[in-house]
Chain A
Amino acid sequence: MFEINELILKKAKELGFGDVVVLAYEQNRRQVRFANNEITVAKNWHTQKVNLFVEYQKRLASTTLTALDEKTIEKTLQMLMKSVKNLAPKEDYYGIAEGPFEYKDIPETFDKAIVELDEPNEYVEVAINAALEEGAKRTAGVLYTDHNKLYLTTSNGVEAFDEGTGIEISIRAFIGDEESGHGTNSVRVLKKFDPESAGRKAGEIAKMAVNPVQGEAGTFDVIFDPLAFANLMSYMSFMASAFAVEAGFSFLVGKLGQKVANDIVTIKDVGNMPNAYGTRKFDDEGVPTRETTIIENGTLNTYLLNTSFARKYKRETTANAGLLMPEAWNVYVEPGDYSKEELFSEVKRGIYITNVWYTRFQNYVTGDFSTIPRDGAFLIENGEIVKPIRNIRVSDNFQHILESIEALGKDLYHIHWWEVATPVFTPYVLVKDVGITKATK
């Protein structure tokens, strides 16, 4: 693919473009979806594409090329030039990174065994059976295998290659209509894949959730399961992007250097973490990915930046390009020192929430939001789970949640599924005084 990248770059420069980024993908993705303990559909995607970003005198344009012959490439570049030439410039554009860079291999991001895996259905069966053994009646979920190759060429001297694999499963187990649990497992190398643990957790929670009673509204101490807290953190990752901040989609607007969370809270983006689903060697400009501390001991340290945003704010890039919109790779919540049992023993009267979905904001800049617990939710009294509850809603404020984090578990869990698009590493989290509401009538 590098020959095609070089050709695109050469032709773009000939036409007069300034900064040029050519990012080519070869992707093989396989999916097995299942419901009611049987496979509903199995899929395969084969994609070859080039994401192309060009700049002409501070005028920016981008497109994706799927036909990669010389004629299409030339026609596309000419069309891009014609389209951007008359546009007004983006005055706050400050260019892309100066390469070349050196890249290190990141452990546990590629496994030939996943590429060669003929048929992953046995892993689906393992997860389903584990859930059924725990007492589930029905299961539904999805398994993916991934094999990606990434070729990056830029006008600033970058030529970079990355190859990665992954396998993951997400399974939800049901007993009745309202008794369910959820488990996930996402890894980059086959020998670490543990579909059984996902199925078992889903089944265990479903069983604990039998015969739920209507939950009460009020203010409660809440233990968020990693699955639930990861959902909130994936929104947090979007809000940490400098683009989201400028566009009014973030409660972190104007809060650099300010306290936005309790002292015990440190949240990072780690682009180069071994065995993590979002890990890549380099960002879209070719800058080697790294660890960036977004919130350090409760204080907002930085937004996620690409080179242009970094120059605008007189900072260093955090290696999170996205050229228009910087993005997180793997969100990482620093663990605390509580065992799960110790965390529960801190709660006199509270709620254990195992999963949430449908997080929506009343106002992004103030951070007012609500989200709905799904799967088992449980009332805790004196450190013990006393009964399953249902039909409640977390209705609170994002910053208030971060400021009210009282304790963090010591074990981290890697969460990535339909509702958590940006992978998140998080422990169990205890939050004080969380607003809980319920529907009336």
Chain B
Amino acid sequence: MHELVEFAVEKAQELGASYAEARFEEKSGTEIVMKNGNPEGLGILADRGIGIRVLVNGGMGFASTNVLTKESVEEAVKKAVKLAKAAAKLRNKPIQFSEEDFHQVFYEVKMKKDFRDVSAEEKMEYLKLIEERVKETGVNVPMRFLRYGDFMWHKVFMNNEGALVESLIPRVSVTYNLVVFEEGQMEQAPFVQRAFSGGLELIEKDKPWEWAVKDVKALQRLIKEGQKPPEGKVDVVISPEVAGIAVHESVGHPYELDRIMGREAAQAGESFVKPEMLGERIGSEAVTVIEDPTIPNSWGFYLYDDEGVKARPRYLIREGIINELLMNREYAAYLGMKSNAAARAINYNREPIVRMANTYLAPGDYSFEELIEDVKLGVYMVSFNEWNIDDRRYQQRYIGREAYLIENGEIKHPVRRPILEITTKGLWSSVDAVGKEVEFYPGTCGKGEPGQGVPVWMGGAHARLRDVVLRR
């Protein structure tokens, strides 16, 4: 496949591209769906193709094909060049890329238990285990949607500036939607996912069936014992899961430089952050937010991005100060900077754009008990359902699924649907203490058009927000 990739890059240059890259991708894997105890079916993923991106006269063109012949690839290269030339005419300023150091590397994530050696029947056992364990709790769960997925993601990236990056990254996940129905009331844990880069040993160690049991028991308790949450100004302790969604939505997204510069304005929106806000305070000193693609076995794992730039941890907020933006080569060049390897594409037929990988609230030095013990009145929000944020990433809302009252330093009964609707600055300025332990939760981050759902982890440590308004 290297030959075809190299051919594409050379051909594009011959046709007049000042910059050319080609990316071969192949995904092969399995999907198994079970609905209410019935195996719905088996899906085999076998997708491969090549995408070519070029700059000609400062215009950008992209074309892809899944017909892997020289003729078809040449046709795609011609289209990309032609599109770039035409696009250049409708530009005020030519597109330029930042200068980077490139490498020729191969890397892979090893599996201890290789999913390619395991039968579909055996993989189905993970879902059956969820069915059985949930049934054993005695909780009435009339609707159960379960999904197992794995795939090997093989990429070969090459550009005309010396980059050649080949990677093999296996990914495994289990997802569930569970509806608990008790005493005429209904609570739901939708699209809960456990997901990793690596082999089946990670699923077996993580035990999604135990997460499912924890969820249905918590929802049953919520129905039986749940009371109204307190209203008005209280303290709120958020779990790593809630901290995760909050850093993803209100820190990761608004720090994407392509969005800040308006490139995503018609789709995922713009940002309240501007480049001149680097160095400004956005949160309390307790708040540090890190974006790190290199965390081993993470769902958002990579070591080189899809422009061939070497990845590293990025400190988006350091002790409350806006520190770094997420960049690809095009937008790093606007600021005269180097890319920090945030360019990702979900498939060969998509362009790399600025994306998150694994975003988390960095740990502080509080134990969980210390976070709780001097809260007079508040709520501990463990998990969330409904959430959203405006397209400048400033006004957001999170509704608790599993949540508890905190009274005089003690965790009490469950509370129903506490609503935290708050601004980004309001949220991060309210944090007065952060816990010691970091946990991660997987998600699929949406952006781009056509949409590119990329695997990410979100997480962090527990955090305590002082005096925020909670609604019912």
| Beyond A125-B90, A362-B385, 10 additional pairs, beta carbon < 8 A | A30-B83, A35-B265, A39-B59, A42-B59, A46-B63, A61-B44, A66-B48, A249-B190, A441-B423, A441-B427
* CA A6 to CA B141, docked complex, whole Å: 44
User: Is the CB–CB distance between B391 and A374 below 8 Å?
Assistant: yes
Q: B178: shortest Cβ distance to chain A, in Å?
A: 8
B307 within 8 A of A: no
User: Is the CB–CB distance between B265 and A140 below 8 Å?
Assistant: yes
B218 within 8 A of A: no
User: Is the CB–CB distance between A370 and B386 below 8 Å?
Assistant: yes
User: Is the CB–CB distance between B190 and A361 below 8 Å?
Assistant: yes
User: Is the CB–CB distance between A41 and B87 below 8 Å?
Assistant: yes
Contacts of A43 in B (CB 8 A): 61-64, 83, 351
Kindly identify, within residues 121 to 170 of chain A, every residue whose CB is under 8 Å from any CB belonging to chain B.
121, 124-125, 138, 140-142, 170
User: Is the CB–CB distance between B76 and A46 below 8 Å?
Assistant: yes
User: Is the CB–CB distance between B87 and A32 below 8 Å?
Assistant: yes
Q: List 11 A-B contacts (CB under 8 A).
A: A34-B90, A35-B262, A38-B92, A44-B64, A44-B83, A63-B45, A67-B68, A88-B124, A92-B38, A360-B387, A391-B390
User: Is the CB–CB distance between A42 and B44 below 8 Å?
Assistant: no
* CA A177 to CA B125, docked complex, whole Å: 52
User: Is the CB–CB distance between A248 and B145 below 8 Å?
Assistant: yes
* CA A141 to CA B449, docked complex, whole Å: 10
Specify which of B41, B388, B389, B471 is in contact with A324 (CB 8 Å cutoff): B41
B323 within 8 A of A: no
User: Is the CB–CB distance between B188 and A84 below 8 Å?
Assistant: no
The 3 A-B pairs with the shortest beta carbon distances in the complex, nearest first, are A248-B143, A441-B426, A60-B41
Specify which of A89, A170, A365 is in contact with B39 (CB 8 Å cutoff): A89
Give the most central of A41, A67, A90, A140: most B CB within 10 Å. Answer: A41
Q: Please, which residue of chain A has its CB at the minimum distance from the CB of B95?
A: A40
B80 within 8 A of A: yes
Main secondary structure of the interface of A (DSSP, over half): strand
Q: B47: shortest Cβ distance to chain A, in Å?
A: 6
Kindly identify, within residues 50 to 68 of chain A, every residue whose CB is under 8 Å from any CB belonging to chain B.
59-67
User: Is the CB–CB distance between B120 and A86 below 8 Å?
Assistant: yes
* CA A400 to CA B397, docked complex, whole Å: 21
Q: A395: shortest Cβ distance to chain B, in Å?
A: 8
A280 within 8 A of B: no
A366 within 8 A of B: yes
* CA A33 to CA B265, docked complex, whole Å: 11
Contacts of B75 in A (CB 8 A): 46
User: Is the CB–CB distance between A247 and B91 below 8 Å?
Assistant: no
User: Is the CB–CB distance between A437 and B421 below 8 Å?
Assistant: yes
User: Is the CB–CB distance between B91 and A39 below 8 Å?
Assistant: yes
Q: Please, which residue of chain B has its CB at the minimum distance from the CB of A437?
A: B421
Which of B's residues lie within 8 Å of A, judged by CB?
30, 33, 35-36, 38-49, 59-68, 72, 75-76, 79-80, 83-84, 86-87, 89-93, 95, 119-121, 124, 142-145, 177-179, 186-188, 190, 261-267, 269-270, 272, 349, 351, 385-392, 394-397, 399, 417, 419, 421-423, 426-427, 430, 449-451, 468-469, 471
Q: B115: shortest Cβ distance to chain A, in Å?
A: 13
User: Is the CB–CB distance between A87 and B42 below 8 Å?
Assistant: yes
Interface-side segment among A75-83, A187-195, A328-336, A406-414: A75-83
Q: B446: shortest Cβ distance to chain A, in Å?
A: 10
Q: B180: shortest Cβ distance to chain A, in Å?
A: 10
Report, as a range, how many residues of chain A touch the other chain: 35 or more
Q: A75: shortest Cβ distance to chain B, in Å?
A: 10
Whether A121 contacts B89 in the complex (CB less than 8 A), given A43-B351, A61-B42, A364-B188, comes out as: yes
A259 within 8 A of B: no
User: Is the CB–CB distance between B430 and A441 below 8 Å?
Assistant: yes
User: Is the CB–CB distance between B124 and A87 below 8 Å?
Assistant: yes
Mark contacts of A360-399 with chain B using CB atoms, 8 A cut-off: 1 yes-contact digit, 0 otherwise: 1111111011111010000000000000000101010000
Specify which of A76, A86, A249 is in contact with B177 (CB 8 Å cutoff): A249
Contacts of B72 in A (CB 8 A): 46
User: Is the CB–CB distance between A393 and B395 below 8 Å?
Assistant: yes
* CA A59 to CA B43, docked complex, whole Å: 12
User: Is the CB–CB distance between A42 and B61 below 8 Å?
Assistant: yes
A11 within 8 A of B: no
Contacts of A79 in B (CB 8 A): 44
Specify which of B42, B80, B178, B469 is in contact with A84 (CB 8 Å cutoff): B42
User: Is the CB–CB distance between A40 and B60 below 8 Å?
Assistant: yes
Contacts of B67 in A (CB 8 A): 46, 48
Whether A65 contacts B46 in the complex (CB less than 8 A), given A45-B64, A441-B422, comes out as: yes
Q: A103: shortest Cβ distance to chain B, in Å?
A: 27
User: Is the CB–CB distance between A324 and B87 below 8 Å?
Assistant: no
Contacts of A248 in B (CB 8 A): 142-145, 177-179, 188, 190
A171 within 8 A of B: yes
Q: A284: shortest Cβ distance to chain B, in Å?
A: 14
Q: Please, which residue of chain A has its CB at the minimum distance from the CB of B390?
A: A372
Kindly identify, within residues 63 to 110 of chain A, every residue whose CB is under 8 Å from any CB belonging to chain B.
63-67, 76, 79-80, 83-84, 86-92
Q: A373: shortest Cβ distance to chain B, in Å?
A: 9
User: Is the CB–CB distance between B397 and A439 below 8 Å?
Assistant: yes
* CA A364 to CA B86, docked complex, whole Å: 46
Specify which of A42, A171, A363 is in contact with B83 (CB 8 Å cutoff): A42
* CA A56 to CA B435, docked complex, whole Å: 53
Q: B90: shortest Cβ distance to chain A, in Å?
A: 4
Mark contacts of A337-381 with chain B using CB atoms, 8 A cut-off: 1 yes-contact digit, 0 otherwise: 000000000000000000001111111111011111010000000
User: Is the CB–CB distance between B266 and A172 below 8 Å?
Assistant: yes
User: Is the CB–CB distance between B66 and A83 below 8 Å?
Assistant: no
Q: Please, which residue of chain A has its CB at the minimum distance from the CB of B63?
A: A44
Q: Please, which residue of chain A has its CB at the minimum distance from the CB of B399?
A: A362
Contacts of A368 in B (CB 8 A): 386
Q: Please, which residue of chain B has its CB at the minimum distance from the CB of A393?
A: B397
Give the most central of B120, B272, B389: most A CB within 10 Å. Answer: B120
* CA A140 to CA B267, docked complex, whole Å: 9
Give the most central of B61, B119, B449: most A CB within 10 Å. Answer: B449
